[in-house]
Structure 1
Amino acid sequence: QEPGEAEPTGYIVMEYVGGRSLDWIRRASDEELAHLFGGAFGIGHVITYGCKILGALEYLHAQGLLYCDMKPDNVIHYGRDIKVIDLGAIRRTDDRTSSLVYTSGYAPPKPERDERGFHLDTDLYTVGKTLETLAARA
């Protein structure tokens, strides 16, 4: 608690994850990607990322949670694995009252959001949009 503050100050401690975001990967030069992957970046990489991302979301969904804000910035490639980061938009699957947190261009269109809110299939939609941006690079 800081001097003069009535309430304790909260903070978040997060694991440091070294590596490259998928956003970096989709914007990198062919030479940078060849160095990272030991060869050309292709659709097989996109499919592998998709499987790993879906595995992370499967875990969250089993806990009764929605991720809501999947995008290339929120996935870090490190070593032979990935980490999904930025859990600030997570909400319970039954939460229909909290404000939605999402990134335009990756979330479903506004009429869909307004009518249904976010559901498990919304997370799948955001994964699809994320992979679409990577596939355009492949």
Structure 2
Amino acid sequence: MKLCWSVLSALVLSGLLACGGTEAPEVSEPLAQESSELVTCSTTCSNGSTVSCSGNTCSTIPGESVECDGFYRICVPDSACLFSGSACSSLAGKSCSPVGSERKCCINRKPTGNCYCMVGGTWACTVTP
């Protein structure tokens, strides 16, 4: 029985020594503490409203959207640009009256275009910057 205890003790002791012993590891330097301040991004939409967000990181597509920490807030499209008939590409070349009249048209859901009723009675549309 003594032999059994001796062998068992030798195995446990050699296992502890092989694994680095029983001492707690030393911490050579303190753990770094991370601090971050929130940043805010905002943009003014074509309809005059503003969208904004705050986070650790943010980016802006002027007049369209903001993104904070991977979450997006987008501008609501101008109500005049919600249907496809108001797109400049849909209006150009279509009949119009009276000659000389003007109207806004939409490019990429923004009312940035302009159409003019030409002498022949068709819309000619241009993009305004």
TM-score range, shorter chain: under 0.3
* TM-score, length-scaled by structure 1: 0.22
**Larger proportion of strand:** 2
* TM-score, length-scaled by structure 2: 0.23
**Larger proportion of helix:** 1
Higher RCO, 1 or 2 (CA under 8 Å, sep at least 6)? 1
